[in-house]
Amino acid sequence: MADRPRKPGPGAKRAGRSARAFAASGGGFASVDEQLRYRLERGLLGRRGRRRAKPASGRGPKVDQGPRLTAAEAEVAERLQKVMARAGVASRRHSEALIQAGRVTVNGRVVTELGTKVVPGRDIIEVDGRPLGRPETKVYVLLNKPKGYVTTLFDPQGRPKVTDLLEGEVAERVYPVGRLDFDTEGLLLLTNDGDLANGLMHPARRVKKTYIAKVRGVPGPAKIRALREGIELDDGPTAPADVKVLEVRAPNSATISLRIHEGRNRQVRRMFAALGHEVIHLKRIALGPLKLGDLPAGEWRYLTDQEVADLYRAAGLRLGGKPRGRRPARR
């Protein structure tokens, strides 16, 4: 019995149209079969609508976007990286890297999406297979950083670190809030309170830092005015600064108080360098409402409850890490 001729499928119809169009334009296909063979040999046939093969399911924890939350749970849920940082696993930024690397599980499922929310005390969080410990007690340390120390927790050059000055007396893992360069002295806040640290460093809060700079030479009125209006640096103009000349020893040096809310790398030194004045000595004496006072260089102390509360207000937070509610606008 002779085979019944088959109706051409949609792929052949498309190929036929393409072949006719190609031939009409002076192309080299003599027939539809020739074009079909051409497309088949080059893997062009059947690309439209092709389904991707599902990856084979492997062993190990399942990847998920996090646990589902009820309305009540959503009220107390927190971001996973925040819970990890508070438990002392790592800084919030490093915790985010651990999550994205697939090293964190929540209730047995790998979570890789940043912003995943969990309920502390209900969800079981593990990092590299180890359960998360209880949240550390929040600690706030004021240090008078001396010259010759780095504010990073690891230095490839092996230079002294500011955490070495705590002499192992602070059991909690604390992090510097902001940085002071190797040659700068003065106030440095160290804490394991990620909410406060982020609030104080956030550009929108404009928390001001006060420095005392001794510079070579004496800046004239025009240069002081330039500091107050903003200096053009290689990474853009600076915001206006509060400037006060404290002492002049003409023609050798001048001591100037500078109050800024930005935190660029070596900003104060670069501002004076742009005006032609080298900074001989630089010391930070205040961070928002927090003052260094008469704390000796290399010494540290814990903050008082009132100082912590003042910093929270400066960072726009309520005690506990929640943003303060804004007052409704008056009509």
Active site residues: 181
Peptide bond into 135 cis (omega under 30): no
Indicate if the alpha-carbon torsion angle 204, 206, 207, 211 is positive or negative.
Answer: positive
Token reading at 281: 């000595």
Q: Cβ(209)–Cβ(220) under 8 Å?
A: no
Distance CA 200, CA 279 (A): 26
- Residue entry with tokens 């500078």: 258
Q: Cβ(211)–Cβ(268) under 8 Å?
A: yes
Token reading at 83: 């819970």
Q: Residue 131's beta-bridge partner residues?
A: 126
Label the pairing between strands 109-111 and 117-118: unpaired
Token reading at 208: 């001001």
Q: Cβ(302)–Cβ(140) under 8 Å?
A: yes
Token reading at 223: 């240069």
- Residue entry with tokens 């027939």: 31
Task: Extract long-range pairs of 94-102: CB within 8 Å, 24+ residues apart.
Answer: 98/127, 102/63
Distance CA 265, CA 37 (A): 64
Q: Cβ(261)–Cβ(206) under 8 Å?
A: yes
Distance CA 152, CA 163 (A): 9
